[in-house]
Amino acid sequence: MSGAINLENSRIIKDLGLIRDEIQQELFRILDSIEGPKGIVFENELMIPLGLIAEFHSLKERLVQNVFSLNSDPIRTKLKTLIFFVRPKMKMMDHIAKHLRFHDTEDKSQKKRCFIYFVPRKTFICEKLLEQAGVKGAAVIREFNLDLIPLDHDVLTLGLETSFKEFISGDTSSLYYVSSSVHKLQRFFGLIPDIKYVGKNGKIAGEMLLRMRRESPIDENIAPKINHVIFIDRNVDLVTPVITQLTYEGLIDEMYTIKHSYVELDGSFLGKDNQTKEKYALNSNDILFEELRDLNMGEVGPFLSQKAKKISQDYNSRHDLQELQEYKVFIGKLPTLQKEHFSLKIHLSIVEDILNKTKDDDQFRDKIDTEMGILINNIQANDTIQNMIYREKPLEDVLRMLCLQSLVNNDFKSKSFDNFRREILETYGFQHIFTLANLEKIGMFKKSEGRSKTRFNFNQLKKSLNLISENFEETKDISSVFSGYAPITVRLVQKAFSSGWQGLEDSVFRYLSDGVFGQFSQENDLSNSEQSMISEKRNVCLVFFINGVTFAEISALRLLSQMQDHSLDYIVATTHIISGKSLIESAYENFDK
């Protein structure tokens, strides 16, 4: 059974809902404070996260008559009030300045009131850019503190979809949002006593969290409901995201792409006649999906078959009813049965479609086999990669395989590196010289410089962390999420609470990208008796993935919490959800026509 949080900690689940409620109420206060009909202008990155907080009918009740996407095109509307919600980015200031100048010069007949809400805070640089553009006085500037948004009962996101791309370019501003969001969580859950970190960005986030506590104290008399937080820098493990995810949820993301808990499916999947795309929510409200999401794809078919038999038996049980009370009980169960039946039809359609796309697809099977061959036996996949290029397979697929080989086998020899670089540029376009440079910059695709200069060593980590398991089905190991490979990030979490990190400096951390790891402690004002009461409960750990987490890693943490020798439940927080495709696309450069 899936689910990262034990029933003992159901209070935490409720409090995660309160976080959403607080953000929603703050948004409503903003809209109610601005009188009259109005339009909202969202930066694209914020449109879906805010959509998770408030549906459009709730906005209409507050006289929001239209929603616009912020880009370089002027907004032509008769509405006299516009409210901009933007991240503090220089590009967004350029767009806003164009809008404000347009309304001031070309659209004078419609004098507008404009408000700019920076999410989650305004910056001096952005205000200065508006001032230099001569439009600062044309809008009221305020802040909207949008932090972690619950995607599910155990998953929180900041919705910073471009954070990894910004990391590549050297912009680490997202670390402030990471730390401030955890600082805000402590208002609900109490002071988190134990702070661990892996990676340079993880350490910075932990240090900033300690500084925020000093500068903005919280109530330290609240008994902590979260006992540990681990900040994990994505750069610590770039192998895991480029591998094909093989859990049910992960494979749905690979095939269809899940955006903020929603997937677009053919209308026929949802029992509709039209062939247009329809959005469907994939979260724990779908009871069947909650049981399916973390299973290896090989287990999904038998599970659905058993579930179909069970639902059929429950429906057929009505024929054996005789007493009035029995009919009442059945009628009471009927809504749940109907809901499960509807969900079953949808997931059977999804599974059937996935199997049709993969079962007879030799290329898909070859890709999985090649990935496992690289991970387990360090095979050289040069021929496979060259064939993918010759057949003009999607560039993201080519680069995922290329980066996997580079990371696992300690980079490419000079001749192979130059050959692949030339072939990719000639096949996919010379603009990707920047893509390859970005991947090289972060160590995902590199020319071999000798062992002494290569810090990340997958083969040493493979031994020290037991990353490969051939009998994962029998042992119920977390490596089932990749059919035999356990994510480095989750093994590190497992080590932290089993044997501890002490003594792993030479066997593990020296082989990671930067070797940075450690721990801080936060003391609070609770008495010893209160601390004792807390320690008797099943502990909760917040695992914060900086610059992205995959669905497979989330599943691995859920599975870890269910292992008999493990005594923690996990809440996952992240800047955003990623896949191999989106990670590679973060290295692309956008060029204006």
**DSSP-assigned letters across all residues of 3-16:** -SS-GGGHHHHHHH
- 14, pLDDT greater than 70: no
Q: Would you place residue 83 in the very low, low, confident or very high pLDDT band (cuts 50, 70, 90)?
A: very high
Instruction: Report the percentage of the chain scoring pLDDT > 90.
Output: 60
Q: Would you place residue 347 in the very low, low, confident or very high pLDDT band (cuts 50, 70, 90)?
A: very high
pTM for this predicted structure? 0.90
Region 41-47: what's the mean pLDDT? 85
Q: Would you place residue 452 in the very low, low, confident or very high pLDDT band (cuts 50, 70, 90)?
A: very low
Region 443-461: what's the mean pLDDT? 80
Q: Would you place residue 54 in the very low, low, confident or very high pLDDT band (cuts 50, 70, 90)?
A: confident
Query: Strand 228-233 relative to strand 140-143: parallel, antiparallel, unpaired?
Result: unpaired
- 320, pLDDT greater than 70: no
Give CA separation, 117 vs 70, 92, 162, 482, in Å: 13, 12, 19, 42
Distance separating alpha carbons of residues 162 and 20, to the nearest angstrom: 22
Query: Strand 149-152 relative to strand 140-143: parallel, antiparallel, unpaired?
Result: unpaired
Region 565-573: what's the mean pLDDT? 90
Distance separating alpha carbons of residues 202 and 72, to the nearest angstrom: 35
The predicted pLDDT at position 163 comes to 92
Contact between residue 187 and residue 591 where contact means Cβ atoms under 8 Å apart: no
- 70, pLDDT greater than 60: yes
Give CA separation, 325 vs 34, 130, 317, 330, 332, in Å: 55, 70, 14, 9, 11
Mean pLDDT over each residue of the chain, to the nearest integer: 88
- 561, pLDDT greater than 70: yes
Q: How many CA atoms lie within 13 A of 504 on its CB side?
A: 24
Query: Strand 228-233 relative to strand 194-198: parallel, antiparallel, unpaired?
Result: parallel
413-433 per-position pLDDT tens digit: 899 999 999 999 999 999 999
Ordered domains of the chain (ranges, CATH): 34-145 (3.40.50.2060), 150-237+462-583 (3.40.50.1910), 248-358 (3.90.830.10), 362-409+411-453 (1.25.40.850)
The predicted pLDDT at position 529 comes to 45
Question: What are the tokens at 170?
Answer: 């050297």
Lowest mean pLDDT across 312-316, 383-387, 555-559, 575-579: 312-316
- 148, pLDDT greater than 60: yes
The predicted pLDDT at position 581 comes to 97
The predicted pLDDT at position 337 comes to 77
499-547 per-position pLDDT tens digit: 899 989 999 999 998 889 999 988 765 544 455 445 446 789 999 999 9
| Most confident listed range (6-10, 94-98, 589-593) | 94-98
